[in-house]
Every structure is written in structure tokens, then in C-alpha cells.
Copies of this chain bind each other. A is one copy, B any other.
Amino acid sequence: MAVVGAGVSGLAAACEIARAGRKVVVLEASERIGGRLLTHALADGTTFDLGGQWIAPRETMPRVNALLERYKLRTFHQVDSARMDLTTHKLSTLSRMTKAEWEWFLAKLDELAASVNVEAPAETADAKALDSVSVEEWKRSNLDSPYLRDIFDQIVRTEFTLEPKDVSMLYFLFCVKSSGGIETMFSSDGGSHTMRVAEGLAALCDRMAAELGDRVLLGYQVYDVIQRPDGVRIVAEGAIIECERVILALPPNQTQRIDFDPMLPRRRMWLMQRLEMGTVIKCFALYETPFWRGREVQVVAPELIVLDHTLDASTPAEGDRPAHHALVAFIGGDDAIVWSDRSPEERRAVVLDSLARVLGPEALHPIDYFDHDWLAEPFIGGGYSCYAPPGVVTAGLEDLAKPIGRIHFAGSETARAYQGYVEGALEAAERAAQEVLTALVHDTV
């Protein structure tokens, strides 16, 4: 058995297969494991997650919580749930009338989201119509105030790291409903932004990789997957692997770079091509003091701000280790493309300047700054996830998970729920591993 991709989904699938006593090897194109999880550690061991960072409590995300427990990793609560960005500021300054329009709009969104069939979004009543428009188009028909349109754009960009024009309205509603309604997109209490992992979320991958040991091979980019009646041949950089079955645990934009023989069904190729990888740069700034706490968000020259979304990312003191006061901010959507092409120095300058425009001049003088440009990851190409533009959900998005002969598919994008989250990556891994284990019994009988 081979698994392609050593992100959380690939590693989890490989662990399940190994635990079932089957041989397995994990081929990873890049020189590190973890995929969209990546943890930055300070000298004193304090961690900041440059990729996936937050998780929800066990009630909503059982798999990731169980895995953290298995490896005895420790969680702590997100320090301060308040967002400190342009959106929050704008929302706080709404006039009574504009506020009423906004409330009406949110209610309408929630009402529409309630109609979505989460198990099978393509079977939602009115699915065709909702999937034929982009969020942008729908917004223009349902929201008059340019000010509110801006706010809504920013929320969409924060959730999807794409522009509203890039996302299907049906897909958006599906995400709204599966994350518990539009309000939870603003709050981090009990939602997907509730908890962090002391060792960093990427520690999950380190532990799984350690369990797999030398069965994880780095620097093995896969070029061809050749399927024959009796097995699969995988042609990778520097190796040819023959195995019974393979799990591809890659984002769809990377899966489509592999040559398949025989070719994959065209509808599957089309699905993978149409899904769009979000674009995001995640930035951390550390400060002597949490100067922003208790302060009202003030905005100077909002048009110069490149950050969609800013949160407190401080870590509490623990034993000898002091607390660290940190902000995490995101450049998402089209801005991420622009700033990915600039130098790290320019990026640092514009991020700190943007923070200062919202939180005051103290933001210009961090004691540490680091960021991660997910667009620059050659075997990922963006983040957080691949999302559905108009026309894709009703054209069979759920087929993305279906095996094709001896090829199985994992990766967060193939999950039924929490697509784009670690929870979704683990659900997909479970399903793919189960498919393979069942098939292997069958194959050898």
C-alpha cells in the first residue's frame, strides 16, 4: 500500500493501515511532512501555527480531539476571542438603519442556509439556482449599501481566502450551515476558533510520522500513477513503487498534476480543475505588551489596509515560560497574490502598517515578526483549502471522494464535513483507510 502526501490526512490514513498490520509507505514530494500544518517554535519552545491553528471542542470536532489525546498533546483556549480588524470596526460603527439592513441580510442568509441539505448539498431544494451564482452576484442582488457590501466581502474573504466572485453561493451556504450559522463566522466562542494546541497543531503530524518511522519518504514527487488489473505502479522522483492500492492524499489542485494511466474519468479531472485553491499569507507579530487589549478598534485610512482578519494569538505563561503577546493577521484573496510577489521586507512593512492603522502606532514596533506565504509552497500552492466556484457542487462535488479502481482519495477536500479543516482531513483519512483495508481483504481472498 502507498499513500501519496504526508499531510495530516495522508499520515492518518497510513497510521490506520499500519495499525491494521498492513505494509504501507508514504510518498511526500516536499522535504517536510505536515502539508498545510506548520508550526513555528520560539527558542523557549512556545509555538505559533503558521498553517492550521485552531480547533473546536470535542462535540463538534471529535476526531482531532481524539488524536490530540492519543498523543497526549495539550490544548488551551484562544486568549481573546475579539477580532481586531476592519470588519469589526465597520460593524461597530453602523447607523441604526444600516444595522437593520445588515440584520435583515444575516437573517436572510441564515434562512437560506437552513434550507441546505448538508449531507448532500447538491440535493438542496433550488440547488441549481443557488449554485449558478457566485457569492458576489447574490450579494449585489441582496445588499444595497456599499458599506455593508464591503463588510460582507471581508467576511467571505476571511472564510474562503478567495474573493466573493470566486465562490458558489450554494457552497457558501453549505459552509455557513455546517459551521452552525452565519454568526459563528464572527465569533470564536465554541466555534472552530476556540482552542489551540500548546505543542502546535503540526505536532499531530510529527507524532504520526514518528509512529510510521522510515515508512515516510520525503522528496518523492509522484509523476505517474499507472493502474493495471493486478496492481498500481507509482512512478516517483527516484523510485518506482508497485503496490495493491494507493491513497492520494493531496489537495485537488495537486492531484491533477499527476499523469494517470488510464486517464481519470473526465468529470473527475474537471472537478479537480474547477476547484480553486485559496490564497493566503499568515502573519504573526509579537509585542512586549498586549497594548491592544481593552482598546477600541480605530481605523485610519482603511483603503491602505491589506489584512482581512486580525486576532489575538497570545500564549499564556506556563511553568518557567513567560506569556507571549502576539497578533495573528491574514492577507487573503487577491491581495495575497500581490503580496506573495513582493519581498519579505515589504510584506512585513505593509502588515505592521496595516495593524497600526487599526490598533495604533505601537503596532509598528514588534519584538518579533514572521509570516508564511502559502502560495510559495510548491506542492500546495495556497491555503486554506480548495473551494467550489459556481457550478461545481451540483456537478457532483461529492464524487471527489469516490475510489477509481485501485486509487483512493483522502485529503480534507474529500470530507463530508469540515472540508478544509483538520477534522475533515481526519474524516477523509478514516474513510479512505477503511476502503483500502476492506478492499485488501477482498483482493487477497
* Residues of chain A having any CB pair with chain B under 8 Å: 132, 136-137, 163, 165-166, 221, 223, 237, 253, 257, 259, 263, 265-267, 269-270, 273, 276-277, 279, 334, 337-338, 340-341, 375-376, 378, 381, 390-391, 395
Q: How far is the CB of A39 from chain B (nearest CB, A)?
A: 23
- Nearest chain B residue, comparing its CB with the CB of A29: B259
Known: A267-B337, A334-B395. 12 other contacts (CB 8 A): A132-B136, A132-B165, A163-B391, A165-B390, A165-B391, A221-B259, A223-B237, A253-B273, A265-B341, A266-B279, A270-B279, A273-B277
The 3 residue pairs across chains A and B that have the minimum distance between CB atoms: A266-B340, A266-B375, A257-B257
Chain B residues lying within 8 Å of A263, measured Cβ to Cβ, are 376, 378
Alpha-carbon separation in the docked complex, A266 to B337 (Å): 6
Q: Do A266 and B391 have beta carbons less than 8 Å apart?
A: no
Residues of B within 8 A of A337 (CB): 266-267, 270
Contact, CB under 8 Å: A341 / B267: yes
On whether the beta carbons of A269 and B137 are closer than 8 Å, the reply is no
Chain B residues whose C-beta falls within 8 Å of the C-beta of A376 in the assembled complex: 263, 266
A338 to B, closest residue via Cβ: B267
Contact A341:B266 (CB < 8 A) given known A137-B137, A165-B132, A257-B257? yes
Contact residues in B for A270 (Cβ distance below 8 Å): 279, 337
Contacts of A391 in B (CB 8 A): 163, 165-166
Work out how many copies of this chain go into the complex: 2
Contacts of A136 in B (CB 8 A): 132
Complex contact A269–B375 (CB within 8 A): yes
Q: How many Å from the CB of A230 to the closest CB on chain B?
A: 23
List residues of chain B with CB within 8 A of the CB of A259.
221, 378
C-alpha gap A253/B273 in the complex (Å): 9
Contacts A/B (CB < 8 Å), 12 sampled: A137-B137, A166-B391, A221-B223, A223-B223, A223-B237, A257-B257, A263-B376, A265-B341, A266-B279, A266-B341, A267-B337, A273-B277
The one of B265, B267, B381 that contacts A269, using a Cβ cutoff of 8 Å: B381
Residues of chain B with a CB closer than 8 A to A341's CB: 265-267
Chain B minimum-CB-distance residue to A381: B269
A272 to chain B, nearest CB (A): 11
Give the Cβ gap from A325 to chain B, nearest Cβ, in Å: 31
Q: Which residues of B contact A137 (CB under 8 A)?
A: 137
Once the chains are docked, how many angstroms separate the CA of A132 from the CA of B163? 11
Neighbouring B residues of A277 by C-beta, 8 Å:
273
Q: Which residues of B contact A165 (CB under 8 A)?
A: 132, 390-391
Closest to A339 in B: B266
In the assembled complex, the Cα of A337 lies from the Cα of B166 at a distance in Å of 22
A373 to chain B, nearest CB (A): 8
